[in-house]
A and B are shown apart, each in its own frame.
Chain A
Amino acid sequence: MDRRKSIQTIILGAGASALAFHGCKTDNGETTVNEDIPATDDTNYFGRTPEELDRIEKLQAEQLLNEHEMETVAALSTVILPPKEPHGGPIEAEVPEFIEFMGKDIPEMQTTLLGGLMWLDHTSNTEFGKEFKSASLDQQKQICDRICYHDMDVPLDQQPLEIQFFALMRNLTVSGYYTSKVGIADLGYKGNSPNVWDGVPQEVLDQHGVAYDPEWIAKCVDQSKRNEIAEWDENKNLLT
């Protein structure tokens, strides 16, 4: 059974009330996880308190960016992080929706976001006679090239609005992508799933030129005995 997949399925709401992993020794003596991990089929309830959920629902009912602004955000975010097979890009990662929500969740961002979007259209209209979202990729890049670097020696909030705006959009786009399902797959992060940690793989140790000290490892957990109940002698030596 692919444990990773099944836990995801459960969390995404396949409906069992709990998931049991049955401990078994595989051929190479590895021990697996055999805890019953609670799971819920209520996919809309990600551990929020009722008050927290209320606030989220209230924010979701509000609208910060209108349709045109959402399309502009979508256009700009795909310039910032072009989609790439097989893990897509900002649209597949729902980055525009994420940015819309964060603008409401952290209102301090709003002026920079809204003002920046206006600046984009104004600049694009002035130079190319069309809104940013309708400009060609080449034209969009011409605009972005001007605002995508900032002076490293000056605090960002003391730099022109359009520079602050681009830096904010880049952060939200990259963060939005890499916290999405497709982005996490692109990153390759393997965690957030039950497992039995037994150290860094040898090839990784080799790659980085480090090694385990045998004396240190001798103190560490023998994972084949993880399910044996701990007992000690009176000198604090573990017997099991």
Chain B
Amino acid sequence: MQIKEVPEEYDVIIVGSGAGGGMATKQLADAGYNVAVVEAGPFFDPADPKTMTQLKWPYDSPRRGAGTDRDFGEWDMAYGGWNIEGEPYTHEPGTKFRWFRSHMLGGRTNHWGRISLRFSQKDFKHKDVDGYGENWPIDYSDVSPYYDKVDKLIGVFGSKEGREDDPDGYFLPPPKPRLHELFYIKGAKKSNIPVIPGRLSMLTKRINNDRGVCFYCGQCSRSCSVYADFSSGSCLIFPAQKSGGKVKLFVNSVVREVTTNDEGKATGVSYISKDDRKEYKLRGKVVVLAASACSTARIMLNSKSKQHPNGLGNSSDLVGKYLHDSTGASGAGFIPDLMNRDVSYNEDGVGGMHVYSPWWGDHSKLDFPRGYHIEVWGGMGQPNYGFGFNANEFNKFFGLKVGGYGDQLRDDVKKYYGSVIGFGGRGESIARKDNYCEIDPTTVDEFGIPVLKFNYTHGETELKQAKHMQDTFEELIHNMGGEPLGKKPGKDQDYGLLPGGEIIHEVGTTRMGNDPKTSVTNKFSQLHDADNVFITDAGVFTSQADKNCTWTILALAWRASDYIIEQLKQQNI
């Protein structure tokens, strides 16, 4: 089969259209460059009524929202999931990593939780504090101007709190807490755990005339049809196209490798079109990889040449190494004082937490080095498949019989509706060289591209942190006069610590640093080994922080884009 060359040479080829790819697209197209965006999935616009799930009712579907086809339920707006047919990944025996992929324009930004937190100075230099992991080659002061710009371009609500480890931004005002969140605030206070308004990228207030304002349906995971939440398509890629930028979208196009010349510089990418299953070549002066931390590592490892025998940018042998996801453990409690809810009002609110707890611990008094934040959920949500299962299970807390049938079931459902509060602990794990993804030489996907094999385990530091989470959840539930649901997971269950990948914050596979021997990119996200290749996804994260990574992906992608523009102007690349 002959590879088809696309005749045009682009200034920049961007692989992936999620947060990092979208931001690079916006900045480079706005700067007047001719940009090609290569996306493995289909075109997607949250405003298209054909694909829209926002405001759908469970009874619009015969399965009432069940998650048979989509891992997070039928209305969730991520095509793909933990397993994609024809695109396997494998594991080193005895280890576990679950890889969530969403192939579509905008990628996982269409369904994400929109929790938008800045890293602090400590997060960039955490090794200096406790000796674990590695410091970033940059400071908060390098990134904060970009955080500022991201806040203003995309919009994030929150409140100025003056907390050193949780830097304030240019916030839109937060929504008022819901009832269960007021209970949480009260419960946390008893244990001196701080609670502040959530920080999420949804528009509680207009920021321009192109995007709508939140109408509080609580369905950000369905991707907002009036563009009131941050999705990469609606906030970055479409605006880049609208402002007259030269943006060519190649959708349903699976990048196989980055092509290079005799000097080892990138010349473009080769991709397989899902439409005709043929291989194509695109030529570009600069290649920006933003396919997600693991996909980018995979493309690089599959890009072998005489100049890059170990894979593109892999002279350090570190591509794929230092993979780390946020730690995650959950807890939930039944709160009797939240029974018998008045259902006369709509409390959907925004699609996420109106309040949360940033990390509060003092590590000099704790047996683990890094912290976590607590996300809170609950309330009277839209019933979907699974609602009403074990309808009267909480009877057991009152010494009443569980089960049965008849009119009583109706009363039970209503009595307990909205009476559960749940917590997600989301924390920082330590990046370790022996947590990695590599190419599995024995397996290819349906496009003939070698797949990733994962090797991922949790360390002691993560397990101790998870134990602390469980103890905290128990205390919080107790403070609210509640009953924990389920048995508290102990050591034999890793304290409920979820497998790597399940929090979908995987980072670190192409980490930045000043030394080409111990890192893959420099502090401008530029490959040490090929100066016209940049990475704008979370691969470049030297460490994760106890914050969600998207806001930092956006800030660093913008920063890298500025650097690319400068280098192109100076004709250095």
Contact = CB atoms under 8 A, between A and B. Distances in A.
A225 B385 contact: no
A228 B414 CA distance: 39
Nearest to B391: A174
User: Size class of A's contact patch?
Assistant: 35 or more
Interface string B392-409: 000010000111111101
B389 A229 contact: no
B172 A45 contact: no
Nearest to A191: B348
Nearest to B52: A47
B218 interface: yes
A24 interface: no
Interface string B342-368: 111111111000000000000000000
B186 A210 contact: yes
B226 interface: yes
Contacts of A84: 407, 410
Contacts of A132: none
B65 to A, nearest CB: 7
Interface string B192-231: 0000010000001111110011011111000001101000
A154 interface: no
A48 to B, nearest CB: 8
A63 interface: no
B90 interface: no
B309 interface: no
A144 B48 contact: no
Given A38-B47, A236-B171, A184 B57 contact: yes
B405 A80 contact: yes
A182 B405 CA distance: 19
A187 B388 CA distance: 11
B347 to A, nearest CB: 7
A228 B387 contact: no
B551 to A, nearest CB: 15
Given A150-B403, A174-B388, A236-B168, A38 B49 contact: yes
Interface residues on B, range: 35 or more
Given A170-B405, A179-B385, A229 B59 contact: no
Contacts of A180: 58-59, 64
Nearest to B49: A40
Given A187-B413, A200-B182, A230 B155 contact: yes
Contacts of A200: 176-179, 182, 345, 347
Nearest to A76: B405
A49 B51 contact: yes
Interface in A57-103: 59-60, 79-82, 84, 94, 97-98, 101-102
A120 interface: no
Given A35-B213, A193-B217, A197-B348, A102 B63 contact: yes
Contact of A152 (B171, B381, B396): B396
Interface in A125-156: 144, 148-150, 152
A144 to B, nearest CB: 6
B410 A188 contact: no
A221 B157 contact: yes
A1 interface: no
Contacts of B60: 11, 46
A222 B204 CA distance: 9
Contacts, number: 277
A105 B387 contact: no
Contacts of A152: 396, 402
B409 A174 contact: yes
Interface string B149-170: 0001001010110000000111
Contacts of B381: 191
B286 interface: no
Nearest to B75: A47
B113 interface: no
A44 B301 CA distance: 44
A189 B383 contact: yes
Contact of A98 (B42, B47, B64, B350): B64
Nearest to A41: B49
Task: Provide the main secondary structure of the chain B interface.
Answer: loop
A212 to B, nearest CB: 7
A208 B155 contact: no
B79 interface: yes
A239 B52 CA distance: 35
A46 B265 CA distance: 47
B417 to A, nearest CB: 7
A222 B168 CA distance: 20
Given A194-B217, A200-B179, A144 B174 contact: no
A187 B343 contact: yes
B489 interface: no
A52 to B, nearest CB: 5
A198 interface: yes
B53 interface: yes
B50 interface: yes
A2 interface: no
A195 B346 contact: yes
Nearest to A192: B382
A13 B69 CA distance: 25
Contacts of A211: 182
A178 B385 CA distance: 9
A197 B172 CA distance: 15
Interface string A16-53: 01000000000000000101111110100111010010
A115 to B, nearest CB: 20
Which residue among B48, B63, B228 has the maximum number of chain A CB atoms within 10 Å of its CB? B63
A79 B63 CA distance: 22
A165 interface: no
B403 A149 contact: yes
Contacts of A177: 388
Q: Which 5 A-B pairs have the closest CB atoms?
A: A40-B49, A188-B343, A174-B388, A199-B176, A47-B53
Interface of B: 42, 47-66, 68-69, 75, 79, 152, 155, 157, 159-160, 168-179, 182-183, 185-186, 197, 204-209, 212-213, 215-219, 225-226, 228, 337-338, 341-350, 380-391, 396, 401-407, 409-410, 413-414, 417
20 contacts: A11-B57, A35-B228, A37-B226, A47-B53, A49-B79, A105-B63, A171-B388, A176-B64, A177-B388, A179-B59, A181-B57, A190-B345, A194-B55, A195-B348, A201-B342, A204-B179, A216-B185, A219-B173, A220-B173, A238-B171
Interface of A: 7, 11, 17, 33, 35-40, 42, 45-47, 49, 52, 55-56, 59-60, 79-82, 84, 94, 97-98, 101-102, 105-106, 144, 148-150, 152, 167, 170-171, 174-181, 183-184, 186-201, 203-205, 207-213, 216-217, 219-222, 225-230, 232, 236-238, 240
